[in-house]
Structure 1
């Protein structure tokens, strides 16, 4: 077996797809220290710059009350009072019950495998996150993939396939993590209503950034109450850790009974949940930071010639697609030498032939720090 693994790793390396772990020695806002050098971090999802601002000092009381570990799953003795506080606050904001999961990956696994079975169907955008794909596989449901963002193709699939299945879920991200684009959400709401489908929206990369209170693209587009189930994370713009699901009370209760990634895992420690609540409260009030990071995104896209006009230019994920894997690696290393951390993104994370740098922006960045980036990218393109 070891010889077989060694051979496969060698083949991965020959294709320019070998992955390594770089050690972050220290973090200060948008800057990270690696190998004794400070680099601007263009690979974080810390869109509002909150992840280094929530201190252990403000969470110390919760640590003294509950200790470091939760000690058990929530259905046993891990359901500490901070869960109720956080889920209650989400209810106030979203107007529907919430359920906390250990991570975004666990939430996506639990929702799809918990809500669907062999009699059901899932209609998913072809570029949804790996965790949603794994959730579809675990569910046992029949799943259909429609071309990225092609709602006509989705409707055609629903027209032909919907009647064969008990439940039908439409699954999409709001902001796609590798492309920085988003679907026509109001149109998706109309489609799901026409075909009696249940719309699941992964807002992991939209919460904090979009919406008046930072509740995501659904809030931004006025469809917050029409989307059947919203998934969000605390580990990105909210600067903490964990994830949440917002939906009807029947859905929440059903997931408590059926979502294996909720049932069979140790609860998050109280200090982590307290951090998530602190991040959520900061993000709700962070209107100026939202405006700032969206302005940075517009400026960078314009400087790179990637602007399209409208809301799409304000997504703080700016993909620079170079195509070939080794070329993306070389470009990443050149930027590293120039003081920018922007790891190459290669298949299977993205489709074949679309290796890229994914430039991720944060409100903690200074526009002047980004001024050297477009010339560098043009020189090496």
Structure 2
């Protein structure tokens, strides 16, 4: 699969959503209250929230750290920095987009994006397995028509597009590229193809694909060369990149709109320099260590091979590091997880209502640092447990 070269500027699509964003920003500009990030500045500080002077790393002993511990305020007040701007420029180029905007977490990014991107006339169609942060964003938006489609079903999505995608009505499709509970991969090519046919915008949460798929950990959208078909991507750094924070990548128009309207960006203290540096270092490390990702995918293949050879049933179909064993009921899930923990194996028991009733599971995450011996031990223990699904 061909991957577009980083830094390629994509053409702006003149769809209903784009026109709405342009109108809202132009209206705010005419009113004289268009928000812009201030330039980083130095001088005597009479504007930050660093009341005790601790954000710069100064401890009670007077000793400081190499990088500030706090940002002192929101990006629109005292919290902007050249370091943040430089990282956003890197993220935009690395993810083949015009611009990027940092958020404090993936939850904040999805909340900010999906609460302000739709308006009350927009129709939102979302995968039924979308993360809670996406659902919360939709709930906080002024949308009056939001409908879920069956998980990874392009057919069900098209039926809803036929019904709700009327001329002049903005339509927004929300989904994840890799789903956090199932480990399933979205049919991105089919969904973006439908979006183009019906004039819909697409938002993709790449939380569990960033760092794992695509050259340099760019994600599944970029691996498939679909950047121009996706309006916004959310990349979070608390998973494969091993740090904290998130970014939304998209057009310059989109990022300017979020700076002006995304409340989870506007009204929160910015990421500190330490966190920004950790994100930059993580991207650099992944780029320098491609064998690490290969090792992870090899372990996933070994895990799936062992499931097949051992005839183990009840597992969700996944070629990602997320492997889920459906256990049937909260009590059975807790019991099985407890048995594994008593043998020194840490797994997550995911219970309803976090997942639908009857879809309770053990959620197992594979890592590049796990060994085949550890996988064998896990599967041996699961094979010996009296679970009817095994």
Taking structure 1 as the reference length, the TM-score comes to 0.80
User: Is 2:105 the partner of 1:117?
Assistant: no
Other-structure match for 1:98: 100
RMSD: 1.9
User: Is 2:380 the partner of 1:375?
Assistant: yes
Contact 1:208–1:284 under 8 Å retained in 2: no
Gaps in structure 1 of 5+ consecutive residues: 1-55, 57-62
User: Is 2:318 the partner of 1:316?
Assistant: no
User: Is 2:364 the partner of 1:362?
Assistant: no
Other-structure match for 1:176: 179
Higher relative contact order (CA 8 A, sep 6+): 1
Other-structure match for 2:229: 226
CA distance in 2, matches of 1:350, 1:313: 17
Task: Report the CA distance shift for 1:289/1:121 in structure 2 as closer, same or farther (over 3 A).
Answer: same
Deviation at 1:313, TM superposition (A): 4.8
Deviation at 1:94, TM superposition (A): 1.7
Other-structure match for 2:69: 68
Deviation at 1:226, TM superposition (A): 2.3
Other-structure match for 2:200: 197
Which of 101-110 and 272-281 deviates more? 272-281
Task: Report the CA distance shift for 1:171/1:231 in structure 2 as closer, same or farther (over 3 A).
Answer: same
SS at match of 2:227: coil
SS at match of 2:121: coil
CA distance in 1, matches of 2:307, 2:252: 46
SS at match of 1:76: coil
Deviation at 1:100, TM superposition (A): 0.5
SS at match of 2:78: helix
Taking structure 2 as the reference length, the TM-score comes to 0.78
Output one character per residue of 1:333-368: Cα deviation in whole Å (capped at 9) or x when no partner: 000011110021011221111110111011121222
Output one character per residue of 1:206-263: Cα deviation in whole Å (capped at 9) or x when no partner: 0111112211111222223322211011111111100000101100000100100000
CA distance in 2, matches of 1:187, 1:92: 26
User: Is 2:304 the partner of 1:301?
Assistant: yes
SS at match of 1:303: helix
User: Is 2:292 the partner of 1:289?
Assistant: yes
Larger helix proportion of the pair: 1
Match of 1:352 among 344, 349, 357: 357
Other-structure match for 2:243: 240
Deviation at 1:111, TM superposition (A): 0.3
The count of residues paired between Structure 1 and Structure 2 equals: 317
SS at match of 1:246: strand
Runs of 4+ in 1 over 6 A off after TM superposition: none
Contact 2:214–2:222 under 8 Å retained in 1: yes
Deviation at 1:124, TM superposition (A): 0.2
SS at match of 1:186: helix
CA distance in 1, matches of 2:86, 2:127: 34
Match of 2:156 among 136, 153, 158: 153
Contact 2:209–2:220 under 8 Å retained in 1: yes
